Amino acid sequence: MSKQMILRHSGPSPFCRKVDIVAKHHGLDGLITAQDVDMNDEGETLRLQNPLGKIPALILDNGQNIYDSQVIVEFFDDIGAGAAVMPTGEGRIEKLTQYALANGMTEASLLVVYEGRMRPDDKYYQGFVDYQLSKIGRGLERLASDLPSLERLDIANITTAVMLEYMDLRINDDFKNGTELGGNKGIWRDSHVGLADWLSEFEKLCPYFGETRPY
C-alpha cells in the first residue's frame, strides 16, 4: 500500500491533530496531502466527502471517503508500519474508557467554542456553556486520579494529551472569544498541576506531539 491520500483538515482541530500524530507514528505522513477546509464556504467539497461536514475526512485514491477520526486511526493501524494505537488484549476496555473520556471532554470543549463562534452575541447562552464546562471539570477530576499509562503510544494517551493542549488554545480565560494565541493557558492548569507533569512526560514519549502543535 503506497497510495496517496488527501486529508481534509484544519491545523487547530484536535480531531485532526490526533489523526496527524497517528499518521506520523505509522510512517504514513509522506503519503498524505493535507487540504485545509473553509467551513464558511457553502460550496466546500468537504460536505460531499463527509455529509456531516466534519473534519478530519480522509480521501483515498479510489475515491473512498473515511471518517470520523477514530475510523481513520483504525485504518492507519491497519495499513501502517508502527504498533497499533487502538488497544487490544488485557486492559483494552479500561484504555477505551479513558479514550472515551478524553474524546468527550474534547467534544464538550468544542461545544463551548461553537457557542461563542456560531451564536449571535445576544443569543449566547451561559447556561449551556456552564453545562459543558461542568463535564470538563468532572472529567479533569477523573483524569487526575486515573491518568492514561505512558508505557507506549496509544489512543488514550494521545487523545488526552491533544485534549489538554486544545483546552490551552480554547478553554482559557478568554474562551468566549475563542482565542487562538499560542501563549494561552487552559483553565485546567491552575486547578490540576499534576496533569501538566503528565503532559511533559507524554511529549517525551511522543515526538510527533510537538511537530503537530498548531501554534
Binding site for ligand GSH (CB under 6 A): 13-15, 53-56, 67-70, 110
Q: Please, which residue, 53 or 194, has the CB nearer to ligand GSH?
A: 53
Q: Please, which residue, 114 or 197, has the CB nearer to ligand GSH?
A: 114
Q: How many CA atoms lie within 13 A of 169 on its CB side?
A: 18
Q: Are 101 and 143 in contact (CB under 8 A)?
A: yes
Between β-strands 65-66 and 57-59, what pairing exists: parallel, antiparallel or unpaired? antiparallel
Strand ranges inside 112-209, DSSP E: none
Smallest gap from Cβ 39 to ligand GSH, in A, equals 6
Smallest gap from Cβ 158 to ligand GSH, in A, equals 13
Smallest gap from Cβ 210 to ligand GSH, in A, equals 20
Q: Please, which residue, 54 or 176, has the CB nearer to ligand GSH?
A: 54
- Looking at residue 53, its amino acid is G
Q: Which spans in the chain are helix H?
A: 14-25, 46-49, 69-79, 92-118, 126-145, 155-170, 188-191, 193-205, 207-211
For the chain, the farthest-separated pair of C-alpha atoms sits apart, in whole angstroms, at 52
Q: Please, which residue, 65 or 70, has the CB nearer to ligand GSH?
A: 70
Q: Which of 83, 86, 88, 52 is nearest to 72 (CA)?
A: 86
Q: Are 152 and 203 in contact (CB under 8 A)?
A: no
Q: Residue of minimal CB distance from ligand GSH?
A: 68
The three grid cell numbers given for residue 146, joined into one nine-digit string:
486515573
Q: Please, which residue, 55 or 86, has the CB nearer to ligand GSH?
A: 55
Smallest gap from Cβ 69 to ligand GSH, in A, equals 3
Smallest gap from Cβ 2 to ligand GSH, in A, equals 25
Which residues sit opposite 35 in a β-bridge?
Answer: 8
